[in-house]
């Protein structure tokens, strides 16, 4: 059900997925399963976004007491989802990991507090879903430039990305605010 990633504490979550001639069913979140992994977050906010192919959102995070752990997945379409470890005490500090998430396959990515997060849409369109364990706080909003050469993330898509002005102006990794 849970698979380790190369990043300390970031996990892939594949809950039981039941298919039959009617369609499919999955239990996308079960607190007991997460607690068994030592994950005790109380998720307080659910978000959804809809984006066109080539849209890149990120790399975002909340700083300080507003930091957020996230459980992310795709309802419709496909994205390449990326987390970057910004915890100075972590053995995977400044490393990234990416995973393809597709609507209807039941795969989720658990991104702990202390990570920057972003995704790019690979399909014609995608509907993205994420649970957060802390409320959004505009004053604590931070980010890292998606194409920072120190990270050298392979976003799995050629050509120009569709970016918000805010995401174009995010700082490089060397200038980011880290977690101690």
- For residue 61, tell me if it sits in a domain: yes
Catalytic residue among 60, 97, 108, 117: 60
Active site residue 60: yes
Strands in 56-62's sheet, in edge-to-edge order, are 96-102, 78-85, 115-121, 56-62, 141-143
Is the pLDDT at 73 greater than 90? The verdict is yes
pLDDT digit string, tens, across residues 97-156: 999 999 988 899 999 999 999 999 999 999 999 999 999 999 999 999 999 999 999 999
Question: Could you give the number of structural domains in the chain?
Answer: 1
Task: Taking residues 60-67, report their average pLDDT.
Answer: 97
- For residue 114, tell me if it sits in a domain: yes
- For residue 151, tell me if it sits in a domain: yes
- As a whole-number percent, the residues of the chain with pLDDT over 90 amount to 92
CATH number at residue 167: 2.60.120.10
- For residue 107, tell me if it sits in a domain: yes
Catalytic residue among 61, 108, 129, 130: 130
- For residue 47, tell me if it sits in a domain: yes
Q: How much is the pLDDT for 81?
A: 98
- Token pair recorded at residue 154: 């392979």
- For residue 145, tell me if it sits in a domain: yes
Beta bridge partners of residue 80, listed in sequence order = 100, 120
What angle (nearest 5°) sits at the alpha carbon of residue 9, between those of residues 74 and 25?
35
Enclosing domain of residue 118? 2-175
Strands 78-85 and 96-102, bridge-based pairing: antiparallel
- For residue 34, tell me if it sits in a domain: yes
pLDDT bucket at 180, cuts 50 / 70 / 90: confident
CA dist 137 → 57, 64, 74, 76 (Å): 17, 10, 24, 27
Spatial CA neighbour of 117 closest among 178, 61, 43, 41: 61
What are the residues whose beta carbons fall under 8 Å from the beta carbon of 171, sequence distance 6 or more? 143, 144, 145
Active site residue 29: no
- For residue 180, tell me if it sits in a domain: no
């Amino acid at each position: 059900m849970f698979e380790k990633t190369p990043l300390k504490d970031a996990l892939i979550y594949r809950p039981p997925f039941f298919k039959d001639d009617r369609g499919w069913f999955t239990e996308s979140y079960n607190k007991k399963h997460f607690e068994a992994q030592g994950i005790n977050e109380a998720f307080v906010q659910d978000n959804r976004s809809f984006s066109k192919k080539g849209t890149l959102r990120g790399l975002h995070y909340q700083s300080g007491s507003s930091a957020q752990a996230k459980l992310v997945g795709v309802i419709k379409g496909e994205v390449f989802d990326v987390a970057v470890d910004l915890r100075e005490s972590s053995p995977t500090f400044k490393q990234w990991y990416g995973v393809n998430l597709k609507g209807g396959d039941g795969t989720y990515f658990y991104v702990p507090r202390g990570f920057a997060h972003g995704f790019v849409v690979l399909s014609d369109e995608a509907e993205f879903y994420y649970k957060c364990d802390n409320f959004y706080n505009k004053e604590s909003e931070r980010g890292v430039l998606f194409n920072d050469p120190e990270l050298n993330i392979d976003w799995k898509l050629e050509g120009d990305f569709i970016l918000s002005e805010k995401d174009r102006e995010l700082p490089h990794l060397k200038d980011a605010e880290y977690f101690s």
